[in-house]
Amino acid sequence: MTDLVWSFAPWLVFLLASRVTSLYGAVAAGALAAVVVLARAAGRRKVHMLDVASTVYFAALGATLIIIRPGHLDFWARYAQAGSHTALMVLVFGSILVGHPFTEAYAKETVPESVWHTDRFRSLNRQISAVWGLAFLVGAISLVAAGSVDSRQVLLRVIVPFGSLYYAYMFTQKQTKGVQESPTDRVRQEIPVPPR
């Protein structure tokens, strides 16, 4: 679960930075965080799809802003957060559609290899990934609404998007709690082993 939090860190940094700095500053903060996360993952030889996608997304967004130099930067800033949620939603649902839910790679680091190819493992990862995808969808809708109105910004830019991500995180925690140890491990813990 720690690697999953690390993978989402650049996006969270971007979302938070966009509340306190300019769009350029938020993109730079997200890009810097993405490079740190990718370097950490590469050093541990555990690079995940989101680690690479974060770096590519923020580099592409930064390059686009530098090349285009939009005259209506306020418009871009209003919808940049919604764009990041939409990008994540597409990645997450895309991973489910191609048969490799993005959570599988993280789950394989915490469960025995014997369960990797079971229907239960695959089904659970599709379910968890779908909840994350829906959380990003809810966040994207809320952030688009926030860009089109001037009121209720705290609700639409903070409470709803971060609330949906928190729900997805807690759902993941709850669903994976019992899977991390195999049934035989649980039986062994319940049956006392006589001393030798």
Burial 142-152 (b: 16+ CB within 10 A, else e): bbbebbeeeee
In a domain, 100, yes or no: yes
Does residue 194 have a pLDDT over 60?
no
* pLDDT exceeds 50 at position 95: yes
Residue 186 belongs to some domain of the structure:
no
Residue 192 lies in a domain: no
Residue 143: which domain range? Answer: 2-177
Structural contact between residues 65 and 76, judged by C-beta atoms closer than 8 angstroms:
yes
For residue 144, being part of any structural domain is answered with: yes
For the chain, the domain total comes to 1
pLDDT of residue 176: 83
pLDDT score of 181: 53
Range in 36-40, 111-115, 155-159, 186-190 the model is least confident about: 186-190
194: in domain: no
The residue behind tokens 């006589």 is 194
pLDDT given for residue 180 in this prediction: 54
Residues in Cβ contact with 77 at an 8 Å cutoff, skipping those fewer than 6 apart:
18, 22, 23
Residue 68 within a domain = yes
Is it the case that residue 56 has pLDDT exceeding 70?
A: yes
State whether residue 62 is helix, strand or coil. helix
Whether 134 is covered by a domain: the verdict is: yes
pLDDT band at 177 (very low <50, low <70, confident <90, very high): confident
Provide mean pLDDT across the span 47-55.
93
Instruction: Tell me which DSSP letter residue 22 carries.
Output: -
What confidence score (pLDDT) does residue 73 get? 77
Residues 6+ apart with CB under 8 A from 121: 104, 107, 111, 115, 179
Q: Is residue 92 one of the residues assigned to a domain?
A: yes
